[in-house]
Amino acid sequence: MSQIIKAFMGVFLTLFMAVTAMGILAAYMEVMNAQDMQARIVDEIENSDFNTGVVRQCFLQSEEAGYQLKVTFFNENSTVATVSQVSQIPYGMDGVDMAKIEMQFPFQVAFLGINRQHTFVSYAK
């Protein structure tokens, strides 16, 4: 009788560990995807010299992936413009020296009840 209980307990713990590991790996993959997307966005904005069309496309890509993008532009004359939606992107981006790029993404491990928003911050120069 005790061997049956031990066997079922072993199976239960193994299944519990497998489900938990799958949830953690899925969350890790989401973090890696978000980190990769942010790196691509920073590269595209830097390589385009802060082109308005490229910034607009980056916003659309992040929205399509389910991420929230926020870009703060710093100009040569010390003015700051923060953009959190596509409609807020200024038409002229002349004199932009640097941009702070913040991307929020969901971090979820459903089995453990973890549901949070995390933010990556990078700078494009």
**Domain, as residue range, for 97:** 2-124
- Structure tokens given for 77: 């004359």
Count of positions (residues) in the chain: 125
| End-to-end Cα separation, the chain, in angstroms | 69
- pLDDT greater than 80 at residue 117: yes
Binned at pLDDT 50, 70 and 90, residue 94 comes out as confident
How many domains does the structure of the chain reveal?
1
Q: Are strands 68-75 and 80-83 parallel, antiparallel or unpaired?
A: antiparallel
Residue 84: per-residue pLDDT = 85
- pLDDT greater than 80 at residue 83: yes
pLDDT tens per residue across span 16-61: 999 889 988 988 999 999 999 999 999 999 999 888 889 999 999 9
- Position with higher pLDDT, 103 vs 79: 103
Q: What percent of the chain has pLDDT over 90?
A: 54
Binned at pLDDT 50, 70 and 90, residue 121 comes out as very high
